[in-house]
């Protein structure tokens, strides 16, 4: 199966889990407060549904590939005193419908699976939502409708999806820690230190420096939290040649400085070959590159570290998309016990040469968790992720942030090309955090848009008022 389909399946599965759990939060609080839920669907179902289930007249009924059920209202058109056409809705007398008609037993929820494999919805009685059920809103308010409930009950119904997405994220993180544990690379004690880009060097950093503290707070792990700490710091302490040096940061850095093609700071790892793919397609094997060799330059350009080597090949790959780029790469290498040598290595169309490189010098610190200890650890992990995402959200409104936004293709590309349950669940938990935060923003059509007016009288503020 191609990487495209693997990523697409992961994306659809992840979004299905997130949306169904989100809508279940709305459903649970609605039922808790005696509000009817007309429909609960995974995926959207324009015109027909793959599966629908409902208890009708005391019997559970199931239909497959079934057209959508007609509405329980009839439309009546008339003209007002200004001569404008208006539509009113008259409820159908349910007792006149034949036994087994799915419009009967309105107190029971219709559960179903649609055929458009993105999203889902929970249709709550007496609430204008994605369904735009204007017919119901033209009728007299009923005690089992959303609009007749107390304000605090309406609030919980509206934020139920957000709460459940947070609960889901915390649960997934807990189970990931329980199943796979966690690991991190210590920020201090790095054998070769850290590597910096030109912007960092202009601020006083040098390759080989080890960042030991930001604004006096000791660094622990080399990860996104270190990037955020450096970005906000006014002073950064580095260990250079055995002495600590304090560097003044002239201005707050953008977090995008740490995610550029050449990042602000990365772990310095010599470009030493760990192993060579022994196949006819491997340019490294044909050229005689061996495990233990250290690549120093490529076509005369510095490539002695993992970061610089990757940047060079990425640049060649990008230029090759628009024009011809010679795939015969002249590499100067260092070989233990034999000094320097020059090899010509032919890269493939993706500018891969057929080698593996691992930073074996930096053994990560492993953390293992039992079942009960994983729960508070997972909540802490999730809460830290939420705070980091909220803090980073301001960058969305910058010029670079706007350029980095994307649609489903961008989201799908963050899943791995090969199926990996560990990566899948971590990404699903992160997307659940994003879904919770985005939905609570005061944006119309999102949960936060409704919450913004949660204290209002829902009958008075209904979009469609009864004439």
Task: Please say whether the beta carbons of 357 and 172 come within 8 A.
Answer: no
Average pLDDT of the chain to the nearest whole number? 82
Task: Please say whether the beta carbons of 353 and 329 come within 8 A.
Answer: yes
Between the ranges 316-325, 367-376, 394-403, where is the mean pLDDT highest?
Answer: 367-376
Task: Please say whether the beta carbons of 295 and 273 come within 8 A.
Answer: yes
Q: What is the pLDDT of residue 463?
A: 33
Task: Please say whether the beta carbons of 6 and 419 come within 8 A.
Answer: yes
Q: What is the pLDDT of residue 260?
A: 65
- What share of residues in the chain are helix, strand, coil (percent, to 5)? 35, 25, 40
Task: Please say whether the beta carbons of 174 and 379 come within 8 A.
Answer: yes
Answer whether 0.95 is exceeded by the pTM: no
Task: Report whether pLDDT(251) > 50.
Answer: yes
Which segment of 35-44, 314-323, 393-402 scores lowest on mean pLDDT? 393-402
Give the bridge partners for 86, in sequence order: 78
Q: What is the mean pLDDT of residues 224-238?
A: 86
110-113 and 37-44 strand pairing = parallel
**Residue 313 to residue 303: CA distance in whole angstroms:** 10
Q: Residue 162: which of 441, 436, 390 has the closest Cα?
A: 436
Q: What is the mean pLDDT of residues 81-102?
A: 78
pLDDT digits (tens, 9 = 90+) for 157-188: 989 999 999 999 999 999 999 999 988 888 87
387's CB contacts (< 8 A; 6+ apart) are none
pLDDT digits (tens, 9 = 90+) for 258-294: 666 678 888 888 888 888 888 777 888 888 888 888 9
Task: Report whether pLDDT(13) > 60.
Answer: yes
Give the bridge partners for 248, in sequence order: 235
Task: Please say whether the beta carbons of 207 and 193 come within 8 A.
Answer: yes
Question: What DSSP string describes 100-137?
Answer: T-TTS-TTSPEEEE-SEEEEEEEEETT--STT--HHHH
Give the bridge partners for 295, in sequence order: 333
Phi, psi of 307 (to 5 degrees): -65, -50
Tell me the pLDDT band of 450, cut-offs 50, 70 and 90: low
Q: What is the pLDDT of residue 74?
A: 73
Q: What is the pLDDT of residue 112?
A: 93
Tell me the pLDDT band of 24, cut-offs 50, 70 and 90: very high
**Residue 68 to residue 47: CA distance in whole angstroms:** 6
Q: What is the pLDDT of residue 339?
A: 86
Give 185 or 414, the one with higher predicted confidence. Answer: 185
Which segment of 118-132, 198-212, 397-411 scores lowest on mean pLDDT? 397-411
pLDDT digits (tens, 9 = 90+) for 143-164: 888 888 998 999 999 899 999 9
Q: What is the mean pLDDT of residues 97-114?
A: 88
Phi, psi of 129 (to 5 degrees): -140, -150
Tell me the pLDDT band of 462, cut-offs 50, 70 and 90: very low
Task: Report whether pLDDT(465) > 50.
Answer: no
Task: Please say whether the beta carbons of 199 and 258 come within 8 A.
Answer: no
Q: What is the mean pLDDT of residues 18-31?
A: 93
Ordered structural domains, the chain, with CATH: 194-267 (2.30.42.10), 275-356 (2.30.42.10)
Q: What is the mean pLDDT of residues 73-101?
A: 77
Give 242 or 417, the one with higher predicted confidence. Answer: 242
Residue 457 C-beta-side C-alpha neighbours within 13 Å: 4
């Amino acid at each position: 199966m191609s990487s495209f389909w693997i990523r697409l399946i992961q994306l659809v599965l992840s979004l299905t889990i997130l949306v169904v759990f989100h809508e279940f939060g709305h459903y649970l609080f609605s039922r808790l407060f005696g509000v009817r839920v007309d429909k609960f669907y995974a995926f959207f179902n324009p015109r027909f549904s793959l599966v629908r289930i409902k208890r009708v007249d005391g019997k559970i009924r199931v239909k497959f590939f079934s057209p959508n059920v007609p509405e329980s209202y009839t439309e009546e058109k008339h003209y007002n005193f200004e001569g404008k056409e208006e539509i009113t809705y008259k409820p159908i007398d349910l007792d006149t419908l034949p036994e087994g008609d799915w419009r009967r037993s309105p107190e029971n929820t219709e559960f179903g699976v649609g055929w458009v494999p993105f999203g889902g919805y929970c249709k709550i009685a007496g609430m204008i939502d994605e369904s735009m059920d204007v017919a119901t809103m033209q009728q007299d308010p009923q005690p089992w409708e959303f609009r007749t409930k107390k304000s605090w009950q309406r609030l919980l119904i509206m934020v139920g999806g957000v709460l459940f997405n947070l609960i889901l994220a915390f649960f997934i993180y807990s189970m990931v820690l329980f199943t796979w544990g966690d690991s991190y690379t210590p920020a201090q004690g790095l054998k070769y230190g850290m590597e910096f880009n030109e912007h960092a060097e202009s601020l006083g950093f040098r390759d080989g420096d080890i960042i030991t503290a930001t604004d006096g707070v000791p660094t622990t792990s080399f990860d996104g939290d270190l990037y955020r700490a450096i970005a906000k710091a006014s002073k950064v302490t580095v260990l250079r040649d055995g002495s600590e040096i304090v560097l003044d940061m002239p201005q707050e850095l953008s977090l995008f400085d740490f995610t550029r093609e050449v990042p602000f700071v990365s772990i310095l790892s010599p470009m030493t070959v760990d192993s060579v793919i022994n196949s006819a397609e491997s340019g490294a094997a044909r050229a005689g590159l061996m495990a233990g060799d250290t690549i120093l330059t490529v076509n005369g350009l510095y490539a002695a570290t993992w970061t610089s080597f990757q940047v060079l090949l990425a640049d060649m790959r990008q230029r090759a998309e628009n024009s011809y780029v010679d795939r015969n790469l002249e590499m100067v290498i260092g070989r233990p016990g034999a000094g320097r040598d020059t090899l010509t290595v032919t890269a493939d169309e993706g500018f891969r040469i057929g080698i593996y490189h691992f930073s074996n010098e930096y053994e990560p610190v492993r953390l293992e968790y039992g079942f009960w200890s994983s729960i508070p650890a997972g909540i802490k992990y999730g809460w830290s992720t939420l705070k980091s995402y909220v803090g980073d959200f301001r960058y969305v409104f910058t010029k670079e942030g706007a350029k980095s936004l994307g649609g489903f293709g961008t989201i799908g590309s963050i899943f791995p090309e090969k199926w990996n349950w560990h990566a899948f669940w971590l990404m699903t938990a992160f997307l659940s955090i994003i879904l919770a935060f985005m939905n609570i923003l005061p944006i119309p059509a999102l949960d936060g848009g409704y919450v913004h007016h949660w204290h209002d009288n829902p009958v008075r503020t209904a979009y469609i008022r009864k004439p």
